[in-house]
Amino acid sequence: MSDKTDQSAGSGAGTLPCDAPGLVPAMPRPVPQQICFVIDDEPGIQNIIAMAAENLGLKMERFREAAKALRAIKTIKPSLVFLDISLEGSDAIDVIRGLGDAGFRGTVQLMSGKDSVLMEQIKRVGERHSLTMLPPLQKPFRLEAVRTIVKNHIAAPIQKLETLNVKAGPDHPFAGRIDLDPALRKNWLELWYQPKIDLKKMQFSGAEGLIRCRHPEKGIVMPGSFLPYADENDLLRLTEAVLRIALADWPKFAQIGFPFKLAINVPINALIKLPIRSIVQECKPKNHDWPGMILEITEDQVVKNISLAHEIATQLRIYDIVLAIDDFGTGYSHLIRLKELPFAELKLDRSLVKNCGEDQSNASLCQAAIELAHRFGSLAVAEGVETKSEVMALRRMGCDVGQGFLFAKPMPRDELLSSLVEHAASSLVTPVKA
């Protein structure tokens, strides 16, 4: 953000870009306590998990049987489920099916003493049911391993469908729960940008804007501290704020010779309920070379209403706004129907990209996703690129764009601007003529 905006972010005295009367203040709400389920027929395992979870502030519910846990989930909404793959009279697949049918939006931690191949296969079953699955936990395990899982869970966004699906690395600090409403009213929000790299030319090709809160007392606050506790109204207000900030930030990049398309994450509800066309027409840069922007929507949201998404995407293209399908590969997709949707990018989820240079199974899935994107006339964008071997493999497969910690972590706008100017003559980043 600019110096003026940075100062107002700390004091809460500023206004959002293209100040909009639609951002109506809401009354503060109490923050609910997160709930953790452990579904395991071994009391000793239940005790270890309960000790770690309760010490870190989660409320525990214990179950030995799948049926009882699935009945409970109809009225109790856990954010984290520890699930053993073998249960009394049942197994993890039954639980996964039940969680999928219930529309569970928390996180599942598989655990077992069985072989890792079986565990990974069960994890993929969960992903096909649109569940957020953590890497399996091998029994026996120590208390510290559970503590780490719970800490990471608390520090990460736990909702995906109804939120902005903001990505955050595990090394970002957790500042405790904060209410999104004052952050919106007092303009504490800003976008940090993660570069996107053209893998063929190894050049800077764009950036994705990720929301951060500059809290006057807690400093930079990650989305895991406020997104999971926000209601739909606040999420719509947040989406509008993010859109306006991105439109106001673009000219800064164009001025130094990088007039690329900025990308932001939006929930599909925002496409339906927000006047995005009007906001863009009001706030878009006046530069004749403004290329438009990219709105990223997760795969699982898109496939639920292809025809509506198609209508909205087609209309937005009139205003130079294109869609990207985010987190592709995390769940079951109606692939044959995706061809009906005009989208500019297919973003491969980290679960496909991870170890694609060594893991033949992931490599095959990655290659298929890249070819699918190209068949649809879209760019293939690999998310979560972390190793050189992944880059080499992705380039061999013909992947178009990479994004991840190997290249750069999300950073404040002005930090990225300085970096682009500093490295404009390098082989990695080449300025574009405005």
Same domain, 75 and 8: no
* 16 or 256, which is more confident: 256
In a domain, 431, yes or no: no
Residue 94 has pLDDT above 50, yes or no: yes
Q: 434 in a domain, yes or no? A: no
301 pLDDT higher than 80? no
Average pLDDT over residues 162-179: 48
Q: Answer whether residue 433 is part of any domain.
A: no
Tell me what pLDDT residue 289 has: 84
Asked if residue 199 is part of any domain, the answer here is yes
Whether residue 261 sits in one domain with residue 228: yes
Find the farthest-apart pair of alpha carbons in the chain and give their distance in angstroms, rounded: 67
d(C-alpha 136, C-alpha 69), whole Å: 20
Tell me what pLDDT residue 63 has: 93
The pLDDT value recorded for residue 175 is 56
133 and 259 fall within a common domain: no
Region of poorest pLDDT, from 135-149, 170-184, 234-248: 170-184
The H or E element containing residue 59 is strand 59-63
Q: Within this chain, do residues 50 and 16 fall inside the same structural domain, yes or no? A: no
Best CA proximity match to 162, nearest among 104, 86, 76, 222 = 104
Whether residues 405 and 283 share a domain: the answer is yes
Contacts of 181 (CB under 8 A, 6+ apart): 25, 26, 27, 28, 29, 234
The bridge status of strand 411-412 relative to strand 401-403 is unpaired
Q: What percent of the chain has pLDDT over 70?
A: 82
Model pLDDT, residue 156: 53
**Which secondary-structure segment (H or E) carries 97?**
helix 92-101
**Chain segment 373-415, per-residue pLDDT in tens:** 998 889 999 999 999 999 999 999 999 999 999 999 999 999 9
pLDDT score at 99? 92
Mean pLDDT, rounded, for 119-123: 86
Asked if 133 and 182 sit in the same domain, the reply is no
Does residue 428 surpass a pLDDT of 50?
A: no
Q: What is the mean pLDDT of residues 91-101?
A: 89
Q: What is the pLDDT of residue 171?
A: 36
**Average pLDDT along the chain:** 81
Q: What is the pLDDT of residue 158?
A: 36
Residues 45 and 170 in one domain: no
pLDDT of 334-376, one tens digit each?
A: 555 666 677 899 999 888 898 899 888 888 889 999 998 998 8
Question: Would residue 337 count as lying in a domain?
Answer: yes
| Whole-angstrom distance, CA of residue 138 vs CA of residue 114 | 8
pLDDT at 155 (0 to 100): 61
Residue 244, pLDDT score: 95
Name the more confident of 44 and 171.
Answer: 44
Q: Is the pLDDT of residue 172 over 70?
A: no
For the cut 70, the answer to whether the pLDDT of residue 15 exceeds it is no
Is 429 a domain residue? no
C-alpha distances out from residue 116 to 304, 330, 363, Å: 32, 19, 19
Query: Could you tell me what percent of the chain has a pLDDT over 90?
Result: 37
pLDDT exceeds cutoff 90 at 245: yes
Number of domain units in the chain: 2
Residues in the chain: 434
Domain end, chosen from 154, 186, 204, is at 154
Within a domain: residue 297?
A: yes
Query: Which residue, of 127, 154, 181, is where some domain finishes?
Result: 154
With a cut of 60, say whether residue 429 has pLDDT above it: no
Position 146 pLDDT exceeds 70: yes
- 53 and 175 in a single domain? The answer is no
- Over residues 207-221, mean pLDDT: 92
Report the pLDDT value the prediction gives residue 87, as an integer from 0 to 100: 84
Structural domain including 168 reads 3-27+160-422
Residue range 100-108: average pLDDT?
88
Q: What is the 3-class SS of 350-396, one letter each residue?
A: HHHHCCCCCCHHHHHHHHHHHHHHHHCCCEEEEECCCCHHHHHHHHH
Does the pLDDT value for residue 31 go beyond 90? Answer: no
Tell whether the model's pLDDT for residue 170 goes beyond 50. Answer: no
Report pLDDT for 165. 37
Give me the CATH number covering residue 377.
3.20.20.450
- List, in order, residues 6 or more apart from 432 with CB less than 8 Å away: 257, 258, 259, 260
Q: Given this model, what pLDDT does residue 76 score? A: 87
| pLDDT(24) > 90 | no
- The residue among 88, 120, 154 that closes a domain is 154
State residue 28's pLDDT score.
Answer: 40
The CATH number for 113's domain is: 3.40.50.2300
